[in-house]
Amino acid sequence: MSTDTDCETTAITLRGEIDIQVAQALHEEVMTALNRGTHVVLDLTEVILIDCACLGMLVRARRRAEQPDRVIAMAAPAPLVERILRVTLVHTGFPIFRDRHQAVAWLRSRPHRPTGRAAARMTRRGLDRQCGTPARPE
């Protein structure tokens, strides 16, 4: 798993089989990104299998993302992975794109303004200045 973050999006690239151990690490990465106030792209290009532990984590993370108006998108799932997402109806809660660049472009086109706790955390960490966003009190 590797992570690439900018001011608006965090792209998490996954590889191989996503089982309970990977799902726990993925959950931590997704929560960190959401707490930072960014949207998340899960790049599934190299994923060959997702198990039920990961599916459950994705649903919980999506609920968490909705609270501060963030989006978790999926990019380039292999046919088997996409079939698993569709059979379990997990796909209904996530925008799915043909590649990572398309997902990132779509997320960047969305209005983005950290609010509430995410904005306060960004201000404390100085991320608002780094991203060119003026500090705003909570």
Task: Give the Cα separation of 108 and 78 in Å (integer).
Answer: 24
Q: What is the pLDDT of residue 86?
A: 95
2-113 CATH? 3.30.750.24
Q: What is the pTM of this model?
A: 0.79
pLDDT in tens, 109-127: 876 555 444 444 444 444 4
pLDDT at 126: 47
Give tens-digit pLDDT for 26-38. Answer: 999 999 999 998 9
In which residue ranges of the chain is pLDDT below 70? 111-138
Domain-wise residue ranges, the chain: 2-113
Q: Which of 87, 22, 76, 81 is nearest to 50 (CA)?
A: 81
Cβ atoms of residues 61 and 32 within 8 Å = no
